[in-house]
Amino acid sequence: MRVINFNAGPAGLPLPALERARDELLDFQGSGMSIMEHSHRGKEYDAVHQETIARLERLLGLPKTHTVLFSTGGASMQFALIPTNFLHAGTSADYVLTGGWSEKALDEAKVLGQTRVAASTRNPDGRYTRVPTQAEVTFDPKAAYVHTTSNNTLFGTQFHSFLDTGAVPHVCDMSSDFLWKPIDCAKFDLIYAGAQKNLGPSGVVVIVAKKAFLESARKDIPKVFRYQTHAEANSLYNTPPTLAIYLVRNVLTWMEGQGGLPAMERRNRAKADALYGCLDSLAGFYSAPVEKASRSTMNVVFRLPSEALEEQFVAEAKKAGMVGLKGHRLTGGLRVSTYNAVSEADVQTLVGFMKSFAKSKG
């Protein structure tokens, strides 16, 4: 029996994507072996690789100026690879701090060169409860790039309109909200997203980058660290994570079958409205710390009157078939992650549980 999975990542995957993997596991398309046993240079895997890229391009409506890459090492490795590639000697990079992940991204850049905090919404207690408005950010017009985080997985905040970085290249960590809705990729120079939330299992990072930005990168770094090396080799410079990419292919196939990104957005907004509506209507019992304009559609965080009640909530929800509700170890409280694979019905089940829990304990 499958549970309702509200994990923050790795997160639940759409059932049809898993069923397809199960059906194809031992004998991929009559080849007598699984996809992960195929050579990454063979025609079977190559078809999967090209299809995954083509589906991403189609879902995003990607302009010809941009390209799709696959990387490994998680989003955390991109924290280091970005300054390695783009923080040229004598330049500085701007970082917008909106949560723990953006702090980590900044820490890696600091090791390699000059950085500047263009804005920070960190509260005195170290928590973040909102993202900055455009007016609060001061960009260095000479910056090598501006780094932002579109959705802050730990604190449950999200940019609902992206910052305009002007002529300065915009690099964005979209690990926890990539493909939640249509986006205009032309506005970004580099987007990266670990797959394990909205688009597949861990092990692969999807990168969408402006070709000219990749060409502008430093050349005095090891070849394997250069994004351009991987772009020139169509992400086949070395052995890619073939099984993870195959699973991303299955998830993207499901997404397109559901109606693509407009359909994902409608579902995701409906789920977020249901959850925040429930929290607001029971505000005497539940408290939602994030300012309304910054509320995430992907990670809904809230607290109960006591830690004992929070523990009870998690335990009783588990008995009712719902897992993954405990907040991040750094933030405490509760967190519901409602990535693309979580259905509206799943969220309605949780909302029903939240109402009856508040009624019986409040």
Ligand X SMILES: Cc1ncc(COP(=O)(O)O)c(C=O)c1O
Catalytic residues: 101, 173, 197
149 contributes a contact to ligand X by CB under 6 A: yes
Residue type, 232: E
337 binds ligand X per the rule CB under 6 A: no
Report the nearest approach of ligand X to the CB of residue 347 (Å).
20
Cβ-based nearer residue to ligand X, 76 or 216: 76
Collapsing DSSP to helix, strand or coil, 334 comes out as strand
Contact status: 340 vs ligand X (CB under 6 A): no
Rounded to a whole number of angstroms, the minimum distance from the CB of residue 158 to ligand X is 10
> How far is the CA of 109 from the CAs of 94, 113, 323, 341, in angstroms?
10, 6, 36, 33
For the CB of residue 178, give the shortest distance to ligand X in the complex, in Å.
Answer: 10
Cα separation, 24 vs 4, whole angstroms: 24
175 vs 294, beta carbon nearer ligand X: 175
Q: Which residues pair with 334 in a beta bridge?
A: 302, 326
Does the protein bind ligand X through residue 346 (CB under 6 A)? no
Shortest distance, CB of residue 244 to ligand X, whole angstroms? 11
Among 10, 16, 74, 332, binds ligand X (CB under 6 A): 74
* List of residues 6+ apart from 355 with CB closer than 8 A: 278, 282
173 belongs to the binding site for ligand X (CB under 6 A): yes
Write phi, then psi, for 209 (nearest 5 degrees). -135, 150
- Per the structure block, which two tokens stand in for 226? 């250069």
Q: Closest separation between CB of residue 91 and ligand X, Å?
A: 24
CA of 128: how far to CAs of 97, 167, 231, 277, in Å?
9, 28, 35, 22
Q: Of the candidates 12, 14, 83, 194, which one interacts with ligand X according to CB under 6 A?
A: 194
Compose the 85-124 pattern: x for residues touching ligand X by CB under 6 A, - for all others.
----------------x-----------------------
Question: What is the amino acid identity at position 263?
Answer: A
Residues 18-57 that bind ligand X (CB under 6 A): none
Strand 146-149 and strand 92-97: the pairing is parallel
User: What's the residue count for the chain?
Assistant: 362
Residues of this chain that bind ligand X (CB under 6 A): 9, 74-76, 101, 149, 153, 173, 175-176, 194
